[in-house]
Chain A
Amino acid sequence: MLSYLARRLLLLVPMAIGIVVVTFGLLLLIPGDPAAVLLGQEASPEAIATLRDQLGLNDPWYIRLWDYFAALLRGDMGRSIFQNESVASIILGRLGATVELAIVALILATLIGLVLGVIAATRQGSWIDTGTMLLAQIGVSMPVYWLGLLLMLWFSVMLGWLPAIGRGTPLPLALVAAFSGQPGVLWDSLQHLLLPALALAVNSAAIISRLARTSMLEVLREDFVRTAYAKGLRRVRVVVHHALRNALLPVLSVIGLRFGMLLGGAVLTESIFAWPGLGQLTIAAISQRDLPLIQGIVLTFALMFALINLVVDLLYAAVDPRIRLA
């Protein structure tokens, strides 16, 4: 396991370097003088010259790339052009909301996906199976922002059950509040969270349900399942204790990957529900063409993605010895 861990960590280094190079490359894509483009047409020549200097545009690209690396190693992602603050602190201020949204969505997606997938697999060929898989197909095909709008329209505008936009108290704080005798805070927090998390979860739930179904179908054909039935165990026990446990492994790897996708999907969900996270920040940064901020966000997303994949791989290896020994 240790050698696998070492190998896997070592692979992270070229990956991280590559991610930084691509992120840095975004600046090179800008046609013309980036400083002039970024500041717009009304900018004075002095302002442009200052920004050129600030972005280090007067140096050749390889020096800039080196400086960029060196700064990143110190945890410095540069300064936002339009907000007088460092990119790192702006991003840190927003990260929690997005991670919270993605984690809750992941939990919802996993629960919904597993339940639907297992039910479909145990009723293979029936109308329940067909219906579930059709639902999954629709779930995959639905634009996440459209689903968000429909949910908002139904549960907030028409029924008035849930708040349409915004975030309540951050979930960790709300949990603390609930334990110190203020359950209302937690309730409010969850109410705000439910619709965006559900909108974000549906796509992943659909994919997880299809995979869980396939995986379950394979396991249900195995001899040990027949043995379990032959022992006279009840169907529910066989399905949950014997089959599902073995079918979970391939599903696990996808669930990890989905977390990365959910972070990306948060860009769309957050813009619908005015959820004050990284996604909303992305849209704002792009509208203003605040390049250091855009680069910082892209980098943050990618590095989180890489770390999640690392964790998933390690978990996977811990569960399945065939992987770390290969």
Chain B
Amino acid sequence: MHIPKALRNTSLVIGALITLFIIGCAVLAPYISTHGVEQMDMRNRFAGPSPVHWLGTDNFGRDLWTRLVYGARFSLSIALISVTISAVIGTVIGLAAGYFGGWVDQLLMRITDVFLGFPAIVLALAIVAVLGPSMINVAASLIVVFWTEYARVVRATTLVLREQNYVQAARALGASPARILFREILPNALGPIIVLASLGLGTAVLSESALSFLGFGLPPPTPTWGWTLAYGTKFLRDEPWLSIVAGATIMLTVLGFNLLGDGLRDILDPRQLSRGPGRAK
């Protein structure tokens, strides 16, 4: 139904293309990689891009394209897991707070405020530090940091939606709170949630890479992007290529999710439509 409008939205189209490309790389990694992930070639250390090594090689002569493509699997998996679970937790809390109001709202929002009160990266680092680095723990640390945003946005949306006539009507008909929340309110609150999730995937990739970069992400030999960038810095003076390409990969991925999120917001959130060009000054 939105197809013509969607295709006219540049952010959305470019963001979707970048995102599809990165996801495609992750899914098809075994088929599109040109070498083994750990396959070393000591005669070709720090090679530049060539037909054999598309993005060159690292300090052990390992193929960078192959490692980045496999790295996408870890970054995207962690991002997807953490964003999905954060969205579910945050949505349930936001729905409850917005719908029931009163002390439920007060309590849930104060808790949300507390978690919002920590700088994200610091809290995530501290959690990984005590739990130890693993895929689940990295995802868990991101969930602790991310759910708050969904809770706040869904609560605000719910506050508006619960006063709508169709919700009042459902209540008058004797529908249970659960039914009203999940059948009447949630479907209409999905727009902002989807937008947040798309932007959240970008933030998750950035955060996971930051943890890996600092050495608290998935432990090596996992070829995470952040870690590839980090060990590339050891050779920064003479061979900056490694770090530059790894960082550019992270940036491209995040840019894709951000453009996608902004494009989706234009389409799914009509209040924001006036942001686009074309309206008179």
Contact = CB atoms under 8 A, between A and B. Distances in A.
A141 B11 CA distance: 14
Interface string A5-27: 00000000011001101100011
Interface string B111-123: 1011101111111
Given A124-B277, A138-B255, A153-B236, A14 B122 contact: no
A137 B126 contact: no
Contacts of B129: 286, 289, 294
A172 to B, nearest CB: 24
Contacts of B250: 143, 146
Given A125-B278, A221-B281, A282-B125, 11 more contacts: A140-B258, A144-B210, A146-B229, A146-B243, A149-B229, A264-B119, A267-B119, A286-B128, A286-B129, A286-B216, A289-B130
B8 interface: no
Contacts of B264: none
Interface stretch (A186-194, A298-306, A315-323): A298-306
B131 interface: yes
A297 B122 CA distance: 9
B202 interface: yes
B48 to A, nearest CB: 17
A129 B262 CA distance: 16
B192 to A, nearest CB: 17
Nearest to A218: B274
A261 B119 contact: yes
A264 B240 contact: no
A291 interface: yes
A271 interface: yes
A31 interface: yes
Nearest to B253: A141
Given A14-B110, A143-B206, A143-B251, A267 B125 contact: yes
For the complex of A and B, the 5 pairs showing the least CB-CB separation, nearest first, are A264-B119, A18-B114, A146-B247, A141-B254, A141-B255
Contact of B117 (A15, A125, A220): A15
B202 A220 contact: no
B233 interface: yes
Given A153-B240, A283-B214, A264 B277 contact: no
B127 A26 contact: yes
A137 B114 contact: no
Contacts of B280: 221
A30 interface: yes
A22 B115 contact: yes
| Majority SS at the chain B contact face | helix
Contacts of A263: 119
Interface string A189-224: 000000000000000000000000010010011000
B123 A298 contact: yes
A157 interface: yes
A261 B131 CA distance: 24
A113 interface: no
Interface string B183-205: 00000000000000000001000
A268 B122 contact: no
Contacts of B277: 124-125, 129
A150 interface: yes
A230 interface: no
Interface in A127-159: 129, 137-138, 140-146, 149-150, 152-153, 157
B256 to A, nearest CB: 8
Nearest to B215: A287
Contacts of A14: 110
